[in-house]
Amino acid sequence: MNAPLAIERDGSVAVIMLDHPPVNALAHRLRTALLTAIERLDSDPTVQAIVLHGAGRNFIAGADISEFDQPAQPPLLNELLFRLESCNKPVVAALHGAALGGGAETALACHYRAATSDLKIGFPEVTLGLLPGAGGTVRLPRLVGWKASLELMTGGKPIDVDRATAIGLVDRRIDGDVRAGAVAWARELVAGGALPRRLRDLGAPEATAELFAEWRAAMPATAWRLPAPGRIVDALEASATRPFDQALDRARELFEECRRSSESRALRYLFFAERGSSLDRDAALRVESAGVIGAGTMGAGIAISLATAGLAVTLVDSKPESLAAGLARVASTIEGSARKGRMTVADAAAAVARVRGSGDLKELSAVDLVIEAAFENLAVKRGLFAELGELCKPQAVLATNTSTLDVDAIAAASGRAADVAGMHFFSPANIMRLVEIVRGRESSRATLATLRAVTKRIGKIGVTVGNCYGFVGNCMLYAYGREKELMLLEGSTPEAIDRALEEFGMAMGPNAVGDLAGLDIGYQARRQWNERPDDPRFYRVSDRLAELGRYGQKSGRGFYRYDGSDRKRQPDPEVLELIRAEAKALGVAQRKIADSEIVERCIYALANEGARILEEGIAASPADIDVIWCNGYGFPRHRGGPMFHADTIGLAIVIEAMRRYEGEQGPQYWTPTPLLASLAEREGTFAGWQAGRADGV
């Protein structure tokens, strides 16, 4: 194994080159080597200054998160950074690429900071339910003040070199090679007699208790469901009121409270789950051009994603007015990103220029990839794929964006099923991170590998799933939605259900989601579902609303009313009357339903359906299910996903509740799957089941 760092000399300046692929994370091995290097160079009389630099694309991208669930191994990062800061000769951080979390804290422990134009520096610990625990909460305010420190740490978003320089986090910007520039600056510092500049020796800027109270009051309500935001403010307030060492100890205590929380464990679990398995690079085909069929909202969003990632895109729609509207949507969305500073004007213009329109499928004969995003109708899609199978070049990959339809039936129509798979984007496609890559019965290794590679290239999370009605996400959605529909008939209201599930942490309640997506969309999809449950109560309320033309936001009426210029949702007494009438017709007695029952029935139904999907091999792992639900359906990230959440509660507790509902509601929906029942009986977990499979148990 190669050494994690090297020491190189440039005259009297020593350069510590961190070389711990892939991102120079501060794992135990690197910390140990860095401490040894610092002590050696600090005692070497021939060394007058030290430059700390990262090999590869990053300075230090953070701590090694995999160590957070293991016993701490010295040297701890706090100890290492205290020793780095204690050096008796100037230490310059040569910053480039990512300097995040522990990397940013390392930069603060250095005496001076130089950076190049590609720097992204920040404190993203809050996104993992943590706070900067290695001195960041104590050193940063001494350098940039309270407001910038609060913004950087509670927001978690990195800043660029211009912003970092403006607030004083970076001392010198270097255009060109940052290592050479940092070495030259280190020589200047020595020649000018500069001494080590230790942030711990600076006094904390003045602050009032009102400053922190006002910041807490201004934080969104959702922040208080998480362990980190409030504790970050607590740690910074301690830095304002306590000596450096005491404030550092307090920050470490707060860090440990966060680390042990179920919320942080869930967020760290998702951090690794979203990285998934490594790409099958050898099998992936080269893709530089793509066609998108259908210029509606979904097709335009897919085209935007592809074009901004550098692919040439042909957007095809047989209706000229639809094509024109789609191209306009592509241009306005990309140009809007430039106006918001998310990309340069030049990059936006180049991306818009990569998209051209056509009304003729034959224009796709030479592209490397086709993504069909036409109307969700099996006959329509089969007809399109029959044409694509004939006209597309050999080895072109053909993907359907269906959300529920049979991928094998679509693939068979192409006459080249090995080249076909599903590529289920979520709306809006240019914003939502998730793509379900649907493995057909005959999908080739090259086809699946290519779609995974393209998904990664366009900055999205690809999860490979099996082929069944609704795949993983929408298949489970029907279990979740089924329960909310039954509870409407049993006496709950749309707003009560949405309120309970939003309080649980869902991004939106299911009735509000239905109105946003369009109740007609789900209605049409259910009409094509041959294995729909034989139950007159199943989605009875949604179906009746759709049949009455109450499609949701698009029509101004759905589960809610959308009146006025703000189109804000409002309860609608007409919906309550409709629900009562349907319940009476079905003989369903109405009652008051507690919030706890609403949450249990919807969330436990998800876990049981997820277990069934695992048994059938539609999902490869519980982690895949959790990634899908947290990124595609608004499941609260701090709960880790439905399967992780069930593990956290305890599967025996889940089963106990399910048995109760089975007795109250009957066995049709509440009989536990064999996998869930078996795991609960032996006090197992979904995570343990998956680990056993990986180990061949």
Q: What is the DSSP string of 8-72?
A: EEETTEEEEEE--TTTT-B-HHHHHHHHHHHHHHHT-TT--EEEEEESTT-SB--B-GGGGGS--
pLDDT tens for 289-312 read 999 999 999 999 999 999 999 999
Which band of pLDDT confidence, cut at 50, 70 and 90, is reported for residue 1? low
Output b/e per residue, 656-681; b: 16+ Cβ within 10 A.
ebbeebbeeeeeebbebbebbbebbe
Residue 139 lies in a domain: yes
Same-domain pairing of 300 and 211: no
The H or E element containing residue 306 is: helix 297-308
Rounded to the nearest integer, the mean pLDDT of the chain is 95
pTM of the predicted model as reported, rounded to 2 decimal places:
0.93
Q: What is the pLDDT of residue 205?
A: 93
Q: Indicate whether 425 pLDDT > 90.
A: yes
Tokens of 417: 């099923």
- 598 or 521: which leads in pLDDT: 598
Averaged over 51-68, what is the pLDDT? 95
Burial of 10 (0-12, 13-18, 19+ CB in 10 A): middle
pLDDT tens for 272-291 read 999 877 778 889 999 999 99
Q: What is the DSSP string of 403-422?
A: SSS-HHHHHHHHT-GGGEEE
Q: What is the pLDDT of residue 280?
A: 80
Sign of the CA dihedral with 362 first, then 367, 369, and 371 last: negative
Beta strands 420-425 and 397-400 are parallel
Same-domain pairing of 565 and 509: yes
Instruction: Kindly report the CATH number assigned to the domain that includes residue 58.
Output: 3.90.226.10
Same-domain pairing of 115 and 181: yes
Q: Which among 310, 473, 468, 447 is positioned nearest to 371, based on CA atoms? A: 447
Same-domain pairing of 110 and 200: yes
Same-domain pairing of 486 and 557: yes
Within 10 A of 556 (CB to CB), how many other CB atoms are there? Answer: 14
Same-domain pairing of 121 and 56: yes
Contacts of 77 (CB under 8 A, 6+ apart): 26, 31, 63, 102, 105, 133, 134
Same-domain pairing of 298 and 386: yes
Q: Indicate whether 696 pLDDT > 60.
A: no
Domain boundary among 443, 465, 487: 465
Which band of pLDDT confidence, cut at 50, 70 and 90, is reported for residue 627? very high
Q: What is the pLDDT of residue 276?
A: 79
Which band of pLDDT confidence, cut at 50, 70 and 90, is reported for residue 421? very high
433: left (phi over 0), alpha (psi -120 to 50) or beta: alpha
Question: With contact defined as beta carbons under 8 Å apart, do 420 and 392 qualify?
Answer: no
- Domain range for residue 34? 5-260
Same-domain pairing of 456 and 480: no
* Count of structural domains within the chain: 3
Question: With contact defined as beta carbons under 8 Å apart, do 146 and 205 qualify?
Answer: yes
Same-domain pairing of 44 and 126: yes
Which band of pLDDT confidence, cut at 50, 70 and 90, is reported for residue 695? low
Which band of pLDDT confidence, cut at 50, 70 and 90, is reported for residue 96? very high
Residue 283 lies in a domain: no
Question: What is residue 187's three-state secondary structure?
Answer: helix
Q: Indicate whether 171 pLDDT > 50.
A: yes
Same-domain pairing of 511 and 448: no
**Could you list the active site residues?**
105, 125
Residue 271 lies in a domain: no
The H or E element containing residue 6 is: strand 5-10
Percent over 90 (pLDDT), the chain: 91
Residue 502 lies in a domain: yes
Averaged over 466-476, what is the pLDDT? 94
Q: What is the pLDDT of residue 566?
A: 79
Averaged over 193-218, what is the pLDDT? 92
Question: With contact defined as beta carbons under 8 Å apart, do 163 and 302 qualify?
Answer: no
Q: What is the DSSP string of 211-273?
A: HHHHHHHHS-GGGGGSSHHHHHHHHHHHHHHS-HHHHHHHHHHHHHHHHHSHHHHHHHHHHHH
Q: What is the pLDDT of residue 693?
A: 78
Residue 615 lies in a domain: yes
Q: What is the pLDDT of residue 567?
A: 84
Question: With contact defined as beta carbons under 8 Å apart, do 439 and 425 qualify?
Answer: no
Q: Which among 434, 433, 436, 399 is positioned nearest to 416, based on CA atoms? A: 399
- Give the position of tokens 């025996």: 652
The CA distance from 491 to 474, in Å, is 25
Could you give the angle at the alpha carbon of 543 between the alpha carbons of 401 and 563, nearest 5°?
A: 90
Q: What is the DSSP letter of 177?
A: -
Domain boundary among 435, 465, 495: 465
Beta strands 420-425 and 434-438 are antiparallel
Q: Indicate whether 153 pLDDT > 80.
A: yes
The CA distance from 248 to 498, in Å, is 42
Same-domain pairing of 459 and 479: no
Residue 535 lies in a domain: yes
pLDDT tens for 516-548 read 999 999 999 898 888 889 899 999 999 999 999
Which band of pLDDT confidence, cut at 50, 70 and 90, is reported for residue 697? very low
Sign of the CA dihedral with 52 first, then 57, 62, and 64 last: negative
Question: What is residue 477's three-state secondary structure?
Answer: helix
Amino acid residing at 621: S
Contacts of 154 (CB under 8 A, 6+ apart): 126, 215, 219, 223, 229, 232, 233
Same-domain pairing of 416 and 491: no
Rounded to 5 degrees, φ, ψ at 30 are: -70, -40
pLDDT tens for 302-356 read 999 999 999 999 999 999 999 999 999 999 999 999 999 899 999 999 999 999 9
Residue 89 lies in a domain: yes
pLDDT tens for 389-416 read 999 999 999 999 999 999 999 999 999 9
Residue 265 lies in a domain: no
Burial of 162 (0-12, 13-18, 19+ CB in 10 A): exposed
The CA distance from 269 to 128, in Å, is 9
Domain boundary among 241, 260, 279: 260
Tokens of 369: 């990839």
Instruction: Kindly report the CATH number assigned to the domain that includes residue 529.
Output: 1.10.1040.50
Question: What is residue 112's three-state secondary structure?
Answer: strand
List the 289-293 sheet strands across, edge first: 355-358, 312-316, 289-293, 369-372, 397-400, 420-425, 434-438, 461-465
The CA distance from 286 to 84, in Å, is 46
Averaged over 44-66, what is the pLDDT? 96
Instruction: Kindly report the CATH number assigned to the domain that includes residue 405.
Output: 3.40.50.720
